[in-house]
Structures are given as C-alpha cells and as structure tokens.
Structure 1
C-alpha cells in the first residue's frame, strides 16, 4: 500500500532523541526552548509556545484571546474537527463560513457577507480560525482586513502549512493574525511524533499561553499576589492544562526542522508532477491562491462525476493506493448536527466532500510510486 502520507525519520533524528534519553531532562529542559526559538526565527515570529498537539495550541490560543461562554468562533467546515472544537472547549458557540471551490479555504466573499449580516444582528464572532487547507494559505490580506474592520481576533490554523509562503513571507510570522498554529503530527511536513506550536508577536499572548500549557502556574514574582514564600514557591493564577511538549519531541522537531526546506521542495516537485500527469483526466486538480506558495501537505483531487466518488475511492484502495478523504464537513458530524447544523448549510463544502480524494503525497514518495498512483487513478476512472 502506498500511503497518502508518512513521516521520514533519519539517523540524525534518532540520534537527537537518543541523546535526550541519556540526558538529565526528559521534559522541561533546554531543548524545548531551543526548538521554539528555531521555529520562531524560521518564520519571523517574536514568540513561540510548544505544546503536545496542534489541538492544544488552538485551545490555549482561544483562551489567550479571551474566548469564553457567550462568545462565538467561526471557522471553515472543511478542516479537522479541532479547528472548531477549540471554541467549544472554551464554552463558546461555533459557526462556519463556506469555502472557495478551488482552494478549499474560507471564501473571503462569503466571510464579508456573513460579517456584515452578523454586525447588523449584533452577533459578531470574537475569533475567526482561518485554516490553511492542504498547506496553502487562504487570502489572509482580505481576511485580516475584514477581521480588523469588525474588531474580530484572528487565528491562523496553519497545521498543514509550516514551510509555506504567502505574499513573499513565511506562513507563521503572524503578519495578518494574532496567533498562528502549526502541527507536528507524523503525516505533517515535519514531525515531533505528536506536537504543536502557537506563534505570536504579542508578548502578553505568549506569556498567557505559556502559563496555560502548564497548569496556569507561574514562578515569576512580579505576577504573584504576594511575595514568594521562598525559592521553591509558585502560584496557580488561573485554570490551565498539562499541554507541555517533552524534550524528546522537541529534539526530534529541532532535527526535523533542519530538513524542512528539502521536505517542502520535494513535495512541491511532486505536486507539479501530479499537475502535469493528471491534466487530461476527468477530475479537478487543486487550485492556487494568488500570492500563496503551498507547503503541499495534501494533494486533493475532485472527481468531475460525483456519482463515482465512492467507487473510485474503493478501487484505488483495492489497488494498493492508500487514498484518504480530508475532510468530512465538520458541520455534518453528529456532535455539530445536535447543535443545529445540517445538510445544505454550506453547499460548497458539501459538494467538495462528494468529490474529494486525497492522493499520496509525502517527501518520501518516489517517482515510480507516483506513476503507479497516476496509473491507478486513470484506470479507476476509465472502468
């Protein structure tokens, strides 16, 4: 089976993790901060907060922005459920904005119309989570302008997009947002096994996220309610969580970060080869966002004939091609249906779901394997 995605672990990666196992610190040591600094420098952000998953990063990002009960978060329906669940963790309500059919990201025109209606109704979102689907930035210029005009805070869920660029700058620098989140899950561009990171240029947001990832505790005397009882003293200032990243994860991430350019270059090469090889088949290839250069976490095709969707998917799986589907529209999940969402609410997202297939794309995919994928797709569509 040719998988749709997989990690690449080098001997240097293994050595980096082994060195931690022989060291004094398995958690809360010096490597975590080094990894944070390296990622922040790579993308041009002032602060980075490493955590145990991108889901955790989204959660503390929402909390740092003050999202809570009675507030509203908007995001894309075509994303992993975590992009919406982070709002529910905070007790907020969640709604969605339909996608652009070609980029699979939030449609700025739909967002503008929905914000205008929400402003008229007096029910604007407090936070928008703008997903970088498949590794490609949405139109963050328009989205940021709209958010700013309505006083809405903005999180970039760039879980797919470390190594991507937008308008000539790296995704993650928070040029357009309050906070950007990366994922380091094994199928992402680089991995820490499980792990994530929140980046920001705001020192207060960074400090609060650092507390929230570690039980809401501080050891900073200036933040305490009274002078420390002694050098052992700490205070819990608010309810937090244990979302810390281990030293082993950070060491793996730091080693993987040195391979980021090579990984992204290979993914872009493979995506270009797919563009050429699939051009004459009865499907639609991924569209491009102006000003964006994708990191190509995923390559998603959409079938011209949606009635053949399941049959083609199953034929590819049966032929040893490990295709997948990213994603089931979040508003159609049973949990969100119980909150009042249903079929027909976001028709572009639902049409995408009826046609989309994620085909193999990862830096370890060989040219021969890619040719096998193309041949299998061609055969499945012709039968």
Structure 2
C-alpha cells in the first residue's frame, strides 16, 4: 500500500528554506521590506498596479468588501460552490448574502443565471452592490460577461482567485482588467504558498490605500494622510477601525521564493491533468474540462461520479481513504451550512450546485505527485467503483 497521498500538498525547496531563514535572521520579522517586494511581484504577475498583502485570503476578501463600501444595507452575491470565506467576508460587513447557481461544465458561477437573477432583482429593487465570482479549482470564470453585466447593473466585482494564481482568462492573467479587486490565496494546498497568506491586487490606487489602511489597524504614518500637522517622525494616526491582518516577513519571503517556481508548478499540474484524462478514460465519471477562454492553474481535479453511483459516493470516498488516498469533497454548498440556513437558505434553492456536490470527489493533484502514485490513485478508484457496482 502506498504512503498517504493527500489531495494537495505544498512543495518546499532548499531555496524556500534559505529565503525564510534569511528573513528570520534579518532586522525585521514583520513590517519590513520583503512584504512590499512580494506585493510588487504579485501585482506585476497579475498585470495590476497595486498589491496589498494580508495574513490570509479571507482577510483580503474582508477588507476588499470594506474598501468597496459594503455595509449593513447592502447585498453581495457569490457562488454556493466555494469555501465559506467567499460569503462570510460580506457577512463580516453586516451585508446580506445571496448566491447564483453554477455552470454544470465549469462548476463556476453561471453567467446565464446571473443575468436572469439580475433582471429579477432590478424589478424588486434588490440588486447586489458587489458580486464575488470564484475561479473554482483554478478555472477562470467568464469574466468579460460578468464585467459587462456589472456595467449594466452598476455593481462592483471582486474576483475570488484563491485557487487561480497563474491562471489566465482570454490570454491575460486573472485579475487584470474585469474586476475592481482580485484576491489570491497562499494556503499550503494552493498552487503556491506563503504558509498562510493572501493578496489583493487592483488597478485602483484609492482602493489599494484603503485596504492597506484596514489591514494595518486603520493606522497610517504617511504625512499626506494626516488630519493635522505632524509634530515629528514618530507620529501616526488611526483614521478608521482596522484590523491586524498583516503578513509577516517570513511569509512574504516564502511567497517570493515560491513565485520563482510558479510556472513549473502549473506546468506539472497540467501534465498530471492530461495523464488523468488518459488514465480515467472509460470510467463512469465526468471529468473537469477547460473552456476555450481559460488557462487553468488546476488547483483541484474534481471528478463527478455518474448518477448511478450517487448513493455510493461515501463508500468510494471511504475506500480511497482506507487505501491512503486523501480524496476530498469541494465543496459542501455554502447555503446548506447551518449558519446560512439560519438566514433562510435551504436545500433545493441552487440545484446545479447541490447535484454537483452530491457526486463530486477531488483526486490528488500537486506538483510532487509522482506518475506511479497517480497510477495507484486511478487503479484504486477503479477498484472502488467496481466494488460500488457490486454492492
């Protein structure tokens, strides 16, 4: 039996360790120069002018909502097929949250359903102030369609690209032109890591300044921002209620080092995806695809079992786990969580996302997954499906 194979895992090199050790022995462990260097590097990668680092993507989503003026009178829409942070960030601001069902092919927020829901919302005077599309599994949403709807209906857009650093939409990096703010995650199972950490990128300087202020306790030391004349270089002002959402120098050093291998990470992920296509051919499953407008960074490889296997999904999951394969389910629809049920949501409201959830499993996908281990994953999945049909 193979050693445990997780669905995702970081790749840490000697250079990564050396970069963190160098930061650890420098004059600054936090609020030093490396965070700024990391911000500039990620902004440049995404084709944006400004980057704002945070201690997590969740924190970055929160301050992005606040920077766009989200408050208790506002409505924010996102997808039910995402991690809870994509919705929670709006709730933190006191806003009401709603969802748009997903496209059955990409598993992303469906632009057709978004357009239909916007038409209904306009007649009811319940249009969203912000829409948060999520690039699920690293596959970009149809951002131009969302952008055009945003201009027609007057809402702002936050791209939740937590899965999708290095991905491209119509040949350009995600976050480059069709949103107000774009968020990346550097959690260890993501495409690259800073241990924990997130980043907001934008082309709007005022939004960048506002997010940076919020991340740093609402404090500024910039004289141009002071309400009064500065009595000395020691002076600072708290200009709003902010948070301690700062990224450390150690995290930024790791992130900068990982950026050097981002292209190779994505190349290997895409190679493994092509192998999965070949190895899984003929099985009673639906494989994830890639739209003609998309270049996916392939954070996840979610398969969908055929309808006949719906009732056996738990058994297949357990079989894989018992054979040291760390499959996972991405995601339980947000609107079905107890917290959101308390807001009035229920099963049956977003049927495409619910049907996808009922039959999906994510197979291991990370750069250091060997061909041999991948073949073991596939053979074990075949065995699990054969056993499920016997049962």
Q: TM-score range by the shorter chain?
A: over 0.9
User: 1:222 Cα deviation (Å)?
Assistant: 2.3
User: 1:288 Cα deviation (Å)?
Assistant: 2.0
Cα distance between partner residues in 1 of 2:238 and 2:315: 55
Of 203, 206, 216, which aligns to 1:204?
A: 206
Of 28, 32, 49, which aligns to 2:31?
A: 28
| 1:138/1:289 contact within 8 Å kept | no
| 1:135/1:297 contact within 8 Å kept | yes
Name 1:165's counterpart in structure 2: 168
* Residues 59-208 of structure 1: pairs in structure 2 closer than 5 A: 59-173=62-176, 175-208=177-210
Cα distance between partner residues in 1 of 2:289 and 2:253: 36
CA deviation map 1:84-122 (0-9, x unaligned): 000000000000000011111000000000000001111
Name 2:362's counterpart in structure 1: 358
Partner secondary structure for residue 133 of structure 2: strand
User: 1:57 Cα deviation (Å)?
Assistant: 0.4
- The answer as to 2:272 corresponding to 1:262 is no
- The answer as to 2:300 corresponding to 1:276 is no
Cα distance between partner residues in 2 of 1:287 and 1:347: 20
Of 241, 251, 254, which aligns to 2:253?
A: 251
Gaps in structure 2 of 5+ consecutive residues: none
Out of 3-12 and 213-222, give the one that drifted further: 213-222
CA deviation map 1:11-59 (0-9, x unaligned): 0000000011111000011111011111111121100000100000000
- Equivalent pairs counted in the alignment come to 382
CA deviation map 1:260-305 (0-9, x unaligned): 0000000000011111211200000002223101000000000002
Q: TM-score, normalised by structure 1?
A: 0.99
User: 1:75 Cα deviation (Å)?
Assistant: 0.2
Partner secondary structure for residue 73 of structure 1: strand
User: 1:308 Cα deviation (Å)?
Assistant: 1.4
User: 1:218 Cα deviation (Å)?
Assistant: 1.1
| 1:99/1:107 contact within 8 Å kept | yes
Cα distance between partner residues in 1 of 2:263 and 2:71: 38
Out of 86-95 and 309-318, give the one that drifted further: 309-318
| 1:162/1:172 contact within 8 Å kept | no
Partner secondary structure for residue 131 of structure 1: coil
Gaps in structure 1 of 5+ consecutive residues: none
